[in-house]
């Protein structure tokens, strides 16, 4: 008889491409993934995957099983969301996801307030710059920089998300303070990886900063903040995050930088869950009251 856990492992390998990546996604050892997958293939008497240079891909039998497994997954997840949504007690686990900078510098230092107010609540905080799938319960609540379009999701606007240009005292002492946009090309810059050039801050950097002046790229906001605070160069950073590090000084205050919006997002099936509501309310209070400006360079 097919077990849901086996189907869950099968779908994870299909979506991730390797046992190791599937193990990371499900938080189990790759050897467990391999053992359960081999047992599933033995039970069914077929090979479900073929090895290719790009990773594991579904065989013909695997394609057939995928359709059935995804239907089972949809039913299981729907049941989980409906049962969780019916819970009126602020207790149990809530999976909260946000970008690495937001999770590290804003949410994690203040989680004690939420847990002090609700001692039976357990928070699993996932720092991830990718938009996880709330329908698959990869998270219960997500802090996002865009309003979702999916009809199955509901969103609450939290606060404006503004940006500024920052540097450290050490960098400014060494290279001088930029007095205006004409000085942009004379300085070293720290930037997100090229894949993030489509974001408003990435587009601003692409318009104003030559690629030859970018000395560091990273997919992680925390890495860029750390390098900027250490004096490696200038960086476009969220004001909300920069305000948490006294080493960061605001420069180019008249630069026309983009503004985005912060949203708290959850699945509509969880809108009546007491623990999800408690987290959404905490996010709204926390982010509406946060300081959003760092010190200005003299």
How many angstroms separate the CA atoms of 261 and 80, rounded?
30
231-242 pLDDT, tens digit each: 999 999 999 999
The continuous run of DSSP H or E covering 178 comes out as: none
Give the pairing of strands 153-168 and 214-218. Answer: unpaired
Higher per-residue pLDDT: 2 or 20: 20
Mean pLDDT, residues 14-39 taken together: 88
The structure's pTM equals: 0.69
CATH architecture of structural domain 4-85: Orthogonal Bundle (1.10)
Least confidently predicted of 33-42, 99-108, 182-191: 33-42
Predicted pLDDT of residue 241 = 94
Determine the average pLDDT of the residues in 217-227: 94
Query: Could you tell me which of 222, 204, 205 has the C-alpha nearest to residue 128?
Result: 222
Q: Which of 297, 292, 162, 293 is nearest to 234 (CA)?
A: 297
Task: Please determine whether the domains at 4-85 and 92-159+261-291 fall in the same fold group of CATH.
Answer: no
Do residues 213 and 189 lie in contact, with contact meaning Cβ atoms separated by under 8 Å? yes
The neighbour count for residue 106, using CB atoms within 10 Å, is 22
Who wins on pLDDT, 96 or 256? 96
- Report domain extents, the chain: 4-85, 92-159+261-291, 162-259
The share of the chain scoring above pLDDT 90, in percent, equals 48
76-127 pLDDT, tens digit each:
777 776 666 556 678 889 999 999 999 999 999 999 999 999 999 999 999 9
With 0-12 / 13-18 / 19 or more C-beta atoms within 10 angstroms meaning exposed / middle / buried, residue 67 is exposed
Report yes or no: 297 and 167 within 8 Å, Cβ to Cβ.
yes
- The pLDDT score that the predictor gives to residue 216 is 95
How far apart CA 283 and CA 123 sit, in angstroms, is 13
Q: Stretch 254-264: mean pLDDT, rounded?
A: 90
pLDDT band at 168; cut points 50, 70, 90 = very high
Homologous superfamily, domain 162-259: Periplasmic binding protein-like II (3.40.190.10)
- Round to the nearest angstrom and report the end-to-end CA distance of the chain: 71
pLDDT value at residue 256: 86
- Per-residue pLDDT tens digits for 271-293: 888 899 999 999 999 988 765 55
Asked if residue 187 has pLDDT above 90, the reply is yes
Distance CA 251, CA 191 (A): 16
| pLDDT of res. 271 | 82
Mean pLDDT, rounded, of the chain: 88
Q: Where does the pLDDT of residue 296 fall: very low under 50, low under 70, confident under 90, or very high at 90 and above?
A: low
For the cut 80, the answer to whether the pLDDT of residue 298 exceeds it is: no
Question: How would residue 255 be classed by pLDDT, with cut points 50, 70 and 90?
Answer: confident
What pLDDT is stored for residue 87 in this prediction? 63
What's residue 84's pLDDT?
61
List the CATH code of the domain at 92-159+261-291.
Answer: 3.40.190.10
Question: Tell me: the pLDDT tens digits for 65-79?
Answer: 898 888 888 887 777
pLDDT at 95: 93
What integer pLDDT is reported at residue 290 of this predicted model?
A: 62
Rounded CA-CA distance 15/138 in Å is 13
């Amino acid at each position: 008889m097919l077990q849901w856990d086996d189907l869950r492992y099968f779908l994870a390998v299909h979506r991730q491409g390797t046992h190791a990546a599937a193990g990371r996604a499900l938080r189990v050892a790759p050897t467990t993934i391999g053992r359960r997958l081999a047992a599933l293939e033995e039970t069914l008497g077929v090979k479900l995957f073929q090895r290719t240079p790009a990773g594991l891909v579904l065989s013909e039998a695997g394609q057939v099983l995928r359709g059935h497994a995804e239907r089972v997954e949809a039913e299981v997840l729907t049941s989980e969301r409906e049962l969780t949504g019916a819970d009126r007690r602020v207790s149990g686990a809530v999976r909260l996801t946000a970008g690495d900078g937001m999770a590290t510098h804003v949410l994690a230092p203040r989680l004690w307030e939420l847990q002090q107010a609700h001692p039976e609540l357990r928070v699993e905080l996932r720092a991830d710059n990718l938009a996880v799938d709330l329908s698959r319960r990869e998270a219960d609540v997500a802090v996002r920089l865009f309003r979702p379009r999916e009809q199955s999701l509901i969103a609450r606007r939290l606060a404006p998300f503004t940006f500024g240009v920052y540097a450290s005292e050490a960098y400014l002492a060494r290279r001088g303070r930029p007095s205006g946009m004409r000085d942009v090309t004379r300085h070293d810059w720290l930037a997100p990886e090229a894949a993030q050039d489509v974001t408003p801050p990435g587009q601003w950097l692409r318009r104003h900063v030559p690629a030859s002046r970018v000395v560091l790229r990273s997919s992680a906001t925390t890495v860029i903040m750390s390098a900027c605070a250490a004096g490696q160069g200038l960086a476009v950073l969220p004001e909300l995050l920069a305000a948490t590090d006294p080493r960061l000084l605001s420069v180019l205050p008249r630069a026309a930088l983009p503004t985005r919006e912060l949203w708290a997002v959850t699945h509509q099936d969880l809108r009546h869950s007491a623990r999800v509501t408690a987290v959404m309310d905490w996010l709204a209070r926390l982010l509406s009251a946060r300081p959003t400006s760092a010190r200005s360079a003299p």
